[in-house]
Amino acid sequence: MTTKQLHSLARRHGTPLVVIDHAVLRRNYATFCRHLPRVQAYYAVKANPAPEILRTLYRAGASFDVASLPEFLAVHENIRHLPDAERQDFIWDKIIYANPTKPRETLEALNQYKPLVTYDNLAELHKIHRHAPQAGLVLRLRVANTGSQCELSSKFGCDPGEAVDLILAAGQLGLVVEGLSFHVGSQCTNFENYVQALNVSAAVMREARDRGHTLQILDIGGGFPAPYNKHVRPFRELARTLNRELDRLFPPDLEILAEPGRFLVATAAVSVARIIGKAIRDGKRCYYIDDSVYHTFSGIIFDHGRYPLQAFKAGPRELCAVFGQTCDGLDVLSQAEELPELELDDLVYAENIGAYSNASATWFNGFPPAQVVHVNE
């Protein structure tokens, strides 16, 4: 999308504005599938749950990874009435509930759908047995998250040494463990995490088979890095590594899942905001925009993200600070942004802001989240 188109949309709809380009969504999904032909993509809904995104990715061929009952229902309600989605086994084919810890009320609500759910400990296993006995299970392993932007292994995943015991314990309760899953951490630029995780998974599968239980599914999780900057290695390099290890370690009939979220949606959205204030503080020029870290730029706080701002106008650049519109001192977008001199009501934009941004926006200070406009649906 050109800056001219962005500027026109902002003038038409007002700011703050988030523009989601569905042509980019489709292109990212096609890239994922082309480079990982053995892997079925289960879009991680938490990255951006907009119904329009769910529908576009479903039409492209995606399945879905959900982590809450509202996410499950959002997928169910937005997808099941689309053409070819009305068969009764839709849920089993298209959704995995990949949050290892679930309230009993959620399990009771899901049970009628015979869901595929993850677990990583004995207490969760007994909870599933009591409240969702029709569920199929995937055991989540704890794996290395070294160098990932958001670390997850301290919160989720069982020790590989106890994995097969947890699989057999499920069988003793009459539950069926379909496979294994892992997550190498969000925005994983250390490809060795995947290599280690795949080798650990293969060892657990061998031990399970030796002890009488053959697994049918491997969920390699998310973490596929979005190209936020030139330092992120191309996805095709990661895919080559994954394909080599998948072919070396696992039989060709194994069903392989993945949970890309950020990779599919990060580059599909651009935020546009308006300069609402300017000042000189401690010798530095400061700008205030009509968005904030409590809104579209929430990824600065929750996702360790950085979204460089750019101006629509040209001119000599200088180092400046950019603040959000709220009264909170935490609301700092950048202390070191390079921008030309801007005036009140000038517009600025930030690219690659589709993941973990407006998805976690709030109404803090009474400011509503940015309006979202979808193009090329």
Are 288 and 327 within 8 A, CB to CB? no
- Residue among 126, 130, 186, 181 nearest 158 (CA): 181
- For the chain, what are the domain ranges? 3-17+267-375, 22-264
pTM confidence score? 0.94
B/e letters for 12-29, b = 16+ CB within 10 Å, e = fewer, are eeebbbbbbbbebbbebb
Are 250 and 218 within 8 A, CB to CB? yes
Are 340 and 303 within 8 A, CB to CB? no
pLDDT in tens, 237-286: 999 999 999 999 999 999 999 999 999 999 999 999 999 999 999 999 99
Q: Encoding tokens for residue 262? A: 């950020």
Q: How far is residue 158's CA from residue 143's CA, in Å, rounded to a whole number?
A: 9
Are 57 and 27 within 8 A, CB to CB? no
Supply the mean pLDDT for the chain. 93
Q: Is 327 one of the catalytic residues?
A: yes
Q: How far is residue 87's CA from residue 48's CA, in Å, rounded to a whole number?
A: 26
Q: How far is residue 178's CA from residue 96's CA, in Å, rounded to a whole number?
A: 12
pLDDT reading at 83 higher than 80: no
Fold of the 3-17+267-375 domain: Lyase, Ornithine Decarboxylase; Chain A, domain 1 (2.40.37)
**Which is catalytic among the residues 33, 158, 286, 327?**
327
pLDDT in tens, 166-199: 999 999 999 999 999 999 988 888 899 999 999 9
Tell me the average pLDDT across 197-207.
97
Fold of the 22-264 domain: TIM Barrel (3.20.20)
